[in-house]
Amino acid sequence: MKEIKSSALRVYIIVSMLLLVVAEAWSQDPQFSQFYANPIYTNPAFAGSVNHGRIVMGVRNQWPSISGAFRTGAFSYDEHSDKINGGFAIQAMYDEQGVGTLRTTAVNLIYAYQIPVTRNFTIQAAIQAGFMQKTIDFNKLLWYDQIVLTQGFLNPTSEPSGDNSIMTPNFGTGIIGYSKHFYGGVAVHNLFEPSQAFFVGASNPIPRRYTAHMGLVIPVVRDRNENRQVNVYPNVIFKSQRQFNQVNLGMYVSKGPYVAGAYYRQNTINADAFILLLGLKTPKVKFGYSYDATLSAARTGAANSHEVTMAFELKKRIPRSKPRKVTCPDF
């Protein structure tokens, strides 16, 4: 019995240490595989890029086979307004790690200004401002000095506890350029690298997150009936946060209301995931589901991730001057 307890404890300690190393080495902002289904999160310059009010909701369950993995939700509302010559949006995000041990909540306001450069090319530039709150439950953390060999975590810890909750302002910016068959942009989040330290006097800035994205719209079948149109959307998306880089290469295909796509995701060190996506568009509602199949060595314990998004069109606008909408994938 003691051998079994000792063996189980060793496994628990090793797994815990690995998770701590991963958490430190790969600490990044939450991410979504359906970049264009969460457009405001990807780049604030997408605010008001459609000619109707739009509500978007997304939920991601990353590595559900691991207890206490990552669960993320996002919400946004955006609309174009002639009075401000651009778009505005409100965007919120919630992220949970470690069975509620660490929670992050963020709310942002965005304004995007539309600049018609030529008859066929438009630029939108945006600013984003909001606040971020992080909470941590120190009672759920386990420390080395609590371990009693062959028995488990029994001793009280001498490790100090910091503030359970912190709140800080956060800012971002972005720009996109687009025509009928091209779209691309750059965004910078955590512009002033706000601190996420729970201890007074400590310094733990959130590094800037850079996103660059570009894609094409290639009509394959042209038809006046939208249900018979077929388009192909090749895409590349690059993200960088501190020394960690990630490239996503993929393609969407749409035929009328149906969308299918695939992405290959590569990080700094190794292949990360292969992503499959299915989507359905109706005149008022859009629904998307994506499945991430892990390709790295982590697939033994973290084989997959799931993501679901929904978008609702609230109302069509009758603008005085028709805004130039972005033609890009919906997922």
> Which domains are delineated in the chain?
30-142+168-316 (2.40.160.40)
CA dist 279 and 7 (Å) reads 46
Average pLDDT over residues 92-107: 90
The answer on pLDDT for 174 being more than 90 is: yes
* pLDDT score recorded for residue 22: 37
Separation of alpha carbons 87 and 125, rounded Å = 10
Mean pLDDT of the chain: 87
pLDDT of 316 reads 64
Which positions ≥6 away from 82 have C-beta within 8 Å? 319, 320, 321, 323
What's the Cα-to-Cα distance from 177 to each of 114, 123, 188, 261, 264, rounded to whole Å? 10, 4, 15, 23, 24
Q: What is the mean pLDDT of residues 62-86?
A: 90
CB atoms under 10 Å from CB of 191, counted, come to: 15
| Burial category of 206 from C-beta neighbours within 10 Å (exposed 0-12, middle 13-18, buried 19 and up) | buried
**What is the mean pLDDT of the segment spanning 188-215?**
92
Question: Structure pTM?
Answer: 0.86
22-36, 186-200, 204-218: which range is least confident on average? 22-36
Closest CA to 64 of 226, 304, 309: 304
Q: What is the mean pLDDT of residues 264-292?
A: 94
Q: What are phi and psi of 98, to 5 degrees?
A: 70, 45
State the CB neighbour count (10 A cutoff) for residue 223: 11
Range with lowest mean pLDDT among 11-15, 139-143, 215-219, 305-309: 11-15
Q: Using an 8 Å Cβ cutoff, are 312 and 54 in contact?
A: yes
The one-letter code for the residue type at 274 is F
In the chain, how long is the greatest CA-to-CA distance? 78
CA within 13 Å, CB half, 248:
28
Examine the pLDDT at 2 and tell me if it is beyond 60.
no
CA gap 117, 251 in Å, rounded: 28
Q: What is the mean pLDDT of residues 316-326?
A: 66
What is the structure's pLDDT at 154?
Answer: 78
- Which pLDDT score is estimated for 201? 79
pLDDT number for residue 157:
82
pLDDT of 243 over the 80 cut:
yes
More confident residue, 272 or 203: 272
What per-residue confidence (pLDDT) applies to 204? 87
The model's confidence at residue 127, banded by pLDDT at 50, 70 and 90, is very high
pLDDT for res 150: 80
DSSP reduced 3-state for 30: coil
Q: What are phi and psi of 91, to 5 degrees?
A: -135, 135
> Is pLDDT of 271 > 60?
yes
- Among the residue ranges 13-17, 133-137, 149-153, 182-186, the one predicted with the least confidence is 13-17
Q: What is the CA radius of gyration of the chain?
A: 22
Statement: residue 4 has pLDDT above 90:
no
Q: Of 2-6, 32-36, 239-243, which range is least confident?
A: 2-6
Query: What residues form DSSP beta bridges with 72?
Result: 60, 95
pLDDT at 48 over 80: yes
